[in-house]
Structure formats: structure tokens, C-alpha cells
């Protein structure tokens, strides 16, 4: 710690940040080490020419001083409504728990009435894929809904069950397959540690 304080005064910020990282991981309650690492990272952020490095350094310094900043996709209206429907399906593919989906076959047709788009979403071989402007004749179910309804569900304002009951989503075929598909998706936390244990 004493050597790191001296080196900080000499402008050896990278070394100080690395050395204090080891101290913080050894003792996360050491406020002096956290503060010194944050100061060093902040200086590196001020010196960084690239925005990506600057943002990383300053985010790390913020976390050391204030803890992890809570974040969530649910509730972020701009992010959810800016996503195209293919992006929504791609995100569902990222959330798919492959081992849980092993051996499952689910085919769902999606009709979005307000934007005039149709898709077929297929779960097969533990992979979720979709095709635009298509409908499958062998679909387990066909969902008809507005894009705005899907956005409200993704924002956590409502659920598929509530929207089906309210008549905002109609399902032809085996509606249980929709529930089965969503039971195979993992939910990710939006807040995670960057530089602290």
C-alpha cells in the first residue's frame, strides 16, 4: 500500500490499479485500497483517448466507490421498443438454456397485426431460429398479437397469460407450447461486478 501510494504520486497508474486490484480481491472491505484503485483507474480514464477504454476505467472507478450500479432491460423502454422483432427473437435465442431444451421440438407462428409482420419460430436441436414472412403448416400454435403487446410483456408490465385472458393475444393450436418455450429461457441479471469480487 505504501509503495502504491508513492507510485501513484509518480503517475504509475497502471501498476497501482493492478496492485490494488490484488489487495481488493484479498480484502474487499479495505476502503483505502478501493479508493486508491479507483483514483488510479480514474486517472487512466482521463488519459484514455478511446471512449471504450475511458468508459471501462471510469465505470470501474465508480463501482469501487459506490458499488454495482443496478441495471435491467425490463423497464428500459427505449431499448425494448427500439429492438426489431428479429432482435427480440435473437435475444430469446441467447436466453435459451440448451441443456434444458435438449430433445424438444417447438414450432410457433407469430402474426404481428400492427406492423404486418409474420414469423415462424422454431426450437430444434437446442437452437432457437426464426424465419420472416413465413408461416409453418406444422406449427404447434399460431399467435396473433400486436408488437406493442410483446413490448409490454418484455418490459414486465404484463404477462402472456394476462394478455391472452384480456383477448389481446389469440392462440390457435396448443398454447401450452408457448409456456413450454418460455420455461426454457434463462433470465439474466443486468448488474454484475466489473472489478470487485
Domain C-terminal end among 11, 35, 66: 66
* CA dihedral sign of residues 85, 91, 95, 100: positive
Domain for residue 197, yes or no? Answer: no
Domain for residue 192, yes or no? Answer: no
Domain tally, the chain: 2
Mention every residue, 6+ apart, whose C-beta is less than 8 A from residue 31: none
Q: Give the separation between CA 112 and CA 153, rounded to whole angstroms.
A: 14
pLDDT of the residue at 69: 75
Domain for residue 71, yes or no? Answer: no
Domain for residue 31, yes or no? Answer: yes
Q: Which three cell numbers stand for residue 66?
A: 459506490
Question: How are beta strands 170-173 and 141-145 bridged, if at all?
Answer: antiparallel
Domain for residue 91, yes or no? Answer: yes
Q: Which residues of 151-163 are buried (b: 16+ CB within 10 A; e: fewer)?
A: ebbbbeeeebeeb
Residues 47 and 102 grouped into a single domain: no
| Predicted confidence band of residue 156 (pLDDT cuts 50, 70, 90) | confident
Q: Considering the chain, what is the average pLDDT of its residues?
A: 94
Domain C-terminal end among 11, 34, 66: 66
> How confident is the model over 16-39, as a mean pLDDT?
97
| Predicted confidence band of residue 75 (pLDDT cuts 50, 70, 90) | low
Q: Is the pLDDT of residue 70 over 90?
A: no
Q: By the 8 A CB rule, do 7 and 36 touch? A: no
Residues 55 and 116 grouped into a single domain: no
Q: Give the separation between CA 14 and CA 40, rounded to whole angstroms.
A: 7
What pTM was computed for the model?
A: 0.69
Name the least confident of 28-37, 138-147, 154-163: 154-163
Report the SS3 class of residue 186: coil
pLDDT above 70 as % of the chain: 97
Residues 84 and 145 grouped into a single domain: yes
pLDDT of the residue at 33: 97
pLDDT of the residue at 79: 85
Query: Cα–Cα–Cα angle for 99, 105, 111, nearest 5°?
Result: 120
Residues 14 and 85 grouped into a single domain: no
Residues 122 and 172 grouped into a single domain: yes
pLDDT of the residue at 142: 98
> How confident is the model over 23-35, as a mean pLDDT?
96
Domain C-terminal end among 31, 66, 101: 66
What count of residues does the chain have? 197
Question: Domain with 25 in it: what CATH number?
Answer: 1.25.40.880
Q: What are the start-end ranges of the E strands in 98-190?
A: 106-112, 117-124, 127-132, 141-145, 170-173
Q: Is the pLDDT of residue 73 over 60?
A: no
Question: Domain with 150 in it: what CATH number?
Answer: 3.30.1050.10
> How confident is the model over 44-50, as a mean pLDDT?
96
* CA dihedral sign of residues 170, 108, 82, 162: positive
22: containing domain: 2-66
| Predicted confidence band of residue 111 (pLDDT cuts 50, 70, 90) | very high
Amino acid at each position: 500500500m505504501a509503495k502504491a501510494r508513492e507510485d501513484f504520486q509518480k503517475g504509475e497508474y497502471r501498476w497501482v490499479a493492478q496492485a490494488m486490484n490484488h489487495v481488493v480481491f484479498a480484502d474487499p472491505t479495505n476502503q483505502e485500497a478501493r479508493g486508491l484503485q479507483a483514483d488510479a483507474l480514474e486517472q487512466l480514464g482521463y488519459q484514455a483517448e478511446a471512449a471504450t477504454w475511458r468508459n471501462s476505467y471510469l465505470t470501474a472507478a465508480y463501482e469501487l466507490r459506490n458499488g454495482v450500479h443496478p441495471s435491467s432491460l425490463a423497464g428500459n423502454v427505449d431499448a425494448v421498443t427500439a429492438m426489431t422483432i428479429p432482435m427480440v427473437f435473437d435475444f430469446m435465442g441467447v436466453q435459451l438454456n440448451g441443456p434444458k431444451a435438449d430433445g424438444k421440438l417447438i414450432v410457433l407462428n407469430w402474426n404481428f397485426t400492427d406492423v404486418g409482420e409474420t414469423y415462424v419460430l422454431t426450437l430444434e436441436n437446442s437452437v432457437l431460429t426464426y424465419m420472416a414472412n413465413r408461416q409453418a403448416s406444422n406449427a404447434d400454435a399460431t399467435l396473433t398479437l400486436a408488437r406493442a403487446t410483446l413490448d409490454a410483456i418484455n418490459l414486465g408490465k404484463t404477462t402472456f397469460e394476462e394478455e391472452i385472458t384480456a383477448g389481446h393475444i389469440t392462440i390457435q393450436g396448443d398454447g401450452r407450447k408457448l409456456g413450454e418455450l418460455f420455461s426454457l429461457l434463462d433470465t439474466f441479471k443486468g448488474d454484475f461486478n466489473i472489478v470487485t469480487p
